[in-house]
Structures are given as structure tokens and as C-alpha cells.
Structure 1
Amino acid sequence: MLAAWFRLKYPHVALGALASSAPILYFDDITPQNGYYSVVTKDFREASETCYETILNSWSQIDEVASQPDGLAILSNKFRTCRPLGDSYELKGYLRLMYAHAAQYNHPPDYPVSMVCGGIDGAAFGNDIISKIFAGVVAYKGNMSCYVNPPTNETETTVGWRWQRCSEMVIPIGTVNTTMFQPTPFNLSSFIDRCESLYGVSPRPHWVTTYYGGYVSYY
């Protein structure tokens, strides 16, 4: 991103920039907040319509099971979680991130999106929606002793990126009804509250576009 921003801020100095991944236009509503997950949805739908439909319908199924008296225990058992689920958001967040990663790194030879959809459509663990989703997890992650919430030690990179997102790189990514995900719009007020709670830092949502500039067309 710094390479692309350098070119944007200093066009009289930079003739070009190599940037393998640079979402420099995902700030200040330059790009619709659902843009990223719309592309993820497009990738899965192009891979398999039935896979897309299963994922689309899975969120309400997960919520329905979770609302039952022993629902979280049922989901924990079904998805072989490493620890009992505390709520349905833990599972849904894991799945959402898995689909996003599969689309982001959807390159040969594995083609992760096709890998996930092959598991979902193959229905190796049953024909109900929940079982199909778990089959997609196993297809993508491999046969492991447990899934979803393994014990982890956060790396300095993870912590540093989260702090940077709070302090200066406010990326308003959310989902709406046009994707295969549950609608989760980006809420700036909630984001600010979370950052202040975590780090005592007040986000600067307009800093990037103020310092580096916004959209520029090169001819």
C-alpha cells in the first residue's frame, strides 16, 4: 500500500509502483463498504450456484440451532470445535473469514473456492445445510482434531495491524443484503467505541484520504 500511496502523493517523483495488494481506495466511502464481500460472493457463485445457495441459507440455520436450549452444544459437536462455542457469532465469524480467505487466495493449484464448494456440494457428513457447511470446512482445512476456535498466540503482526486499523487506517468494510453473508453494515460509532476500549485510541476515519489523497485517474 505504501508503494501505491507514494505514487498517489508524489506523482511528480514516482513513475510507477508495484503493489501486490493495495486497497488504497477502501477509505472514506470511495468504495462501497460491501465491495469486498460482493466479490467474494461472486467468486463462490461462479464456482457453484448450489454452494452459493447453501452458504446464503446457512446463517439463519446456524442462528436457529443456536437459539435452542442446547443449540450451542449441538453446533460445537457438529463443527468439532476446540472449545465449546460461547455464541453463534464465534462460528459465523470463523466461516465468514474462511470464505473471505478462500476467495482472496483463490489461485492454482488448489483453487480454495472450488475446494470449499466441492466439500459443501459433496455433502460427506449429511445433506442438511449445517452438515454441508462443515464438509466445506473439512475440505478447506483438512482433517483436523478440532476446528473454529483453537488456542492461539496472537502475533505482533496481528496486534499491530489491529492497532493500525484503529489509529489511522479505518477501512469501512461491511456486508449488505446483496451478498451471500448476513447483513453486517460497518458502523463507525461502534468501531470507535471498540478501538477506544481496546487501545485508548480514537480512530481518524479521514486521515488516509487527507494525507495521501483519494481517487485519481491516470491516463
Structure 2
Amino acid sequence: MGSESVKTLIYLFIVIHAKFICHCESQKPGNVSNSIEQSGIASDEERFIVKKFTVPVDHFNFRLNKTFEIRYLVNDTWQHGKNSPIFLYTGNELYIEDAVGSAAFIYDIAPTFGALIVFAEHRYYGESLPFGNESFSNPENWGYLTSQQALADYVDLIEFLRSNSSMKHSPVITFGGSYGGMLSAWIRMKYPHVIQGAISSSAPVFQFHGIRDCEPYFQVVTSTFEAIDSECPKLIRETWGAIDNITSTDEGRKWLSAQWKLCTPITNKIHIAQLKRWLQRRYTSLAITNDRQSTPSYSEKQINEICTHLKNATEDSDIGILSALGLAVKTFKYFNDECINTADEPIVDQQWTYQVCTELVINLCTDGVRDMFNPEPFNFEEFSEDCQKKFGVTPQPGLACKIYGCSDFNAASNIVFSNGLLDPWHVGGVLRNVSDSVIAVIIPEAAHQFDLAGSHPQDPKSVIEARNIHKTFISKWIEEYREMSKSISL
């Protein structure tokens, strides 16, 4: 996968994850109440308080004494009793406000457990910037952006919360989805004396170069379209060649730019690559958010519309195919009424790009045969060169597995890994029970981290069952910790 494809991979993890929240556009930074309202659970007593907590820039260096503040959101509406549970959402590659709407399950169950709810922001994201406005201007400042440093931030925050005498023995349960799900599991693995259990949803903890194959992800995206219309993947596959053919001439580039009402007319290869990435992101976003809370779901309707337009092409030619696809893309959820902006969507100052270029070398690729996309193999050498150009760093594909383990989770405990089979990311997740306390929950009817969403009358049975499993284990972990705490205090 070359430098252009690396951009596609990065967008798939962060932009689509952001769009998934509430199945709506990403919330505006800092607007916590808006995020809650759009998730359908807002009331005056359910709003979060935004707080800040001071952490070291480097947790593992005794000579660097610099500190900064990370933000966290607190809701104590349902907290009651001494040593009440702490439900901690391990923030990921987003503004922390944006995580609230995607994890309504936490406050669905908080009243039952009398829990304090905390959403912690990941360093270098949102407003938790170690060097303020200079955090990304100097290459030397990037080095403290690692999952290990972020986990240490969360541990310090937990210790601070427990410093209250009434919470000294509060059990801590972590929750997270996607990269946040990886963090939720990893913090339990690395700090089992601090974290009593973890719910890790849609976490591709194995989707690293050299551990899992790179092809299955886009094969699942393709199968989502195929399940709705068996002819669709073949038709979409034909559009890539049609784009290449049409954009090979000035006349064709002008025609496509006008026909699709592109905000930026196609004039060079960069624009063509951007257009293809834009389409790939849209298709993949529909697969990731293809939940079954309604029948048909928004994604099913959108996919069906794309397929119908392609099948109804007025002529069997490049112009006919792209005219039909143009009608389809104008119905996309993110379409600007005036024009289609295919420019690469801004990733928050390239933070996630940096993480993938260092310790989290996630690999995705396409072959154009078993999937409906352009053939793009994962080329580690090109990927590494691109990371060197961007940040002056060399990827370490085995680092995440060295730190957290990949082939063997037998030493871990008290983790539930949940994966929806409609979610392409499940191919990189834990799909089998590791032990009696490291459990894999497979949800046939769920898309990306759907089990963390708030309950809905039309929730599929498998999603409801998954949430019940979560609650059962959470109750077990809390009870076990309380029994242990009693024995220690005697």
C-alpha cells in the first residue's frame, strides 16, 4: 500500500469512526450537551461537567518534569454509596465530547450500579495537548504520542479519583470502542491492579502487519453490499476503470467534474486519487454503520440506491456508468448541496497518522477480485518511506504485540471482547474465548461498536444479548473486587 493508500487507511479508522457517532456528523468540539442531545438521552441531570487533570508529558522519564492538562468529562448523576464503581471510557482519536454519544450503554447501566461516569480524553487529541499550539510544530514534540503514555494518563486520573476517601476502594470498569476498545483491553492487561474489568468493543487488537492478513477488511465491506444486491460489487468494480478511462483526457476530466458537480475540478492525478478515496470512504462508512436498528437501515437504503442507479445506467459505457454513479453519490449523506468536495478530509493535525506510523502499524489492502475496490497491496517499504517523509519516523510493526501481546492473551483476565459481524473491523478482533475470563462475544446483527450504543426498542436480539453479557460480567468483576477489598481490610 503506497503513500496515497496510506491516506485511505488512516481515514478509514478516524473519519469513519467519527461519522459513526449517533449516525450523524461529528459534533462540534467542546459542545458536550449537543453530543448528548443528538444521542437521544439528554436531560439537565445527564449533562457532563468538563474537568482538567495534570499529567506528566513523559511518564517514564525521571528527568523530564514537564506537565500538561488532559480533559475529562464527569457525570455523577447516579453515583451513590461509598466506593461506588467508576465507569471509565478510555478516550480515543477524537475530541472526548464526540465519544459521549457513541457509548450511551454506559449511562443506560450506570443507575443499576450506582456508578460514577468518566470520559477521559486521549493526549494529543481534542484539547489535551502536551505543548499547546506547539504540539505539532516541532517533530521532537511528537514522541510522547503513544498508547503507553495515554494509558499512564488514565491510571493517574484513576488514582486521583480514588484519592477521595469515599472512593478509595472503588472498582474501575473500562469501556471503549474501536481504538478506544483496544485501550480499554490494554489498560486491564497492563494495570490489572488498577482496572477490575474491561469491555472492549470492535477493537482490532490483532490487525497489525505480520499478524493478520490485510485483505479481509474490504472483503467484509464488499459482502455488505453483496448481501443487499448481489450484482452491486461487480458494478462498483467496473466504475474504477471507468474513472481511469474518462479522466485520461482533458475533455473527460472536464465532463466528470461538471457531471458530478465537483467543488474542485479534476485537473491532475492527485484529484483523481482523491476522488477514488472519497468514494472508498463513503462505501466503507456505509458498511461500518450498517446497523439493524431499523429495517431497512439508513445504510441499507443508501447502498440499495447506489446499486439501483448503477443497474439502471442508460448505456453500457464509461459515460453511462459514471452518469449513473453521479446520480447515486449526490444522495450521499455528506453531500454538499452546491458541490461535492472530494478533497481529503482533515485529520486532526495528523495525530492518528503518526500513531499508525509508529507503534500501531495497522494493515489493510485490496485485491480487486475478492473485493470491489482498486487493487492496492500493502507495501511496507512504501508505507515506511511515507512515514519517514511525514514525521521522520520508522514504523515498528511488532511493537504493539511486544507491549501488549497478540498471539497469547492467556495471562490476561476480566476482558470482554465484542465484535459485530457487520463491522469490517471484526476481522482484526478477538473472535474466540481465550479463557473463562477473557471472553469473545460475537454479534451477528451488529455494526461497529453498536453494543455500546444506547438501547432502542428495535435493537436486534443479538445486540441485547451482548449487552446482557456485559452487565453480567461487570457485576461479577465488581463483586469479586469488593470481596477482595474486604479480605484485605480485615
- Partners of 1:36 and 1:71 in 2: how far apart? 32
Q: Does 1:30 align with 2:215?
A: no
Which residue in the other structure is 2:298 paired with? Answer: 111
CA RMSD of aligned residues (A): 2.6
| Amino acid across the alignment from 1:78 | Q
**Which consecutive unaligned segments of at least 5 residues does structure 1 have?**
none
> Would the aligned equivalents of 2:360 and 2:400 in 1 still touch at CA under 8 Å?
yes
> Would the aligned equivalents of 2:309 and 2:325 in 1 still touch at CA under 8 Å?
no
| Number of residue pairs the alignment of both structures matches | 217
**Residue number among 386, 396, 401 corresponding to 1:194 in the alignment:** 386
**Residue number among 397, 400, 406 corresponding to 1:205 in the alignment:** 397
Q: Does 1:146 align with 2:339?
A: yes
Which residue in the other structure is 1:121 paired with? Answer: 308
Distance 1:123 1:39, change over 3 A: closer
Distance 1:124 1:185, change over 3 A: closer
Q: Secondary structure at the match of 1:174?
A: coil
Which protein is bigger by CA-based radius of gyration? 2
Which residue in the other structure is 1:41 paired with? Answer: 222
Q: CA deviation at 1:92?
A: 0.8
- Which shifted more, 6-15 or 197-206? 6-15
Query: Deviations for 1:98-127, whole angstroms, at most 9, x for unmatched residues?
Result: 111111111244432431331441469953
- Partners of 2:211 and 2:344 in 1: how far apart? 37
Which residue in the other structure is 1:90 paired with? Answer: 274
Q: CA deviation at 1:8?
A: 4.9
Q: Secondary structure at the match of 1:132?
A: helix
| Amino acid across the alignment from 2:277 | G
**Which consecutive unaligned segments of at least 5 residues does structure 2 have?**
1-181, 315-319, 410-432, 436-490
Which residue in the other structure is 2:361 paired with? Answer: 170
> Would the aligned equivalents of 2:235 and 2:310 in 1 still touch at CA under 8 Å?
no
Q: Does 1:183 align with 2:375?
A: yes
Q: Secondary structure at the match of 1:17?
A: strand
| Amino acid across the alignment from 1:146 | C
Identify, as 1 or 2, the structure richer in helix.
1
- Partners of 2:357 and 2:183 in 1: how far apart? 18
| Amino acid across the alignment from 1:172 | N
Q: CA deviation at 1:189?
A: 0.7
- Partners of 1:62 and 1:151 in 2: how far apart? 18
Distance 1:8 1:131, change over 3 A: farther
Identical residues among aligned pairs (%) = 31
Q: CA deviation at 1:165?
A: 1.1
- Partners of 1:184 and 1:150 in 2: how far apart? 20
> Would the aligned equivalents of 1:82 and 1:146 in 2 still touch at CA under 8 Å?
yes
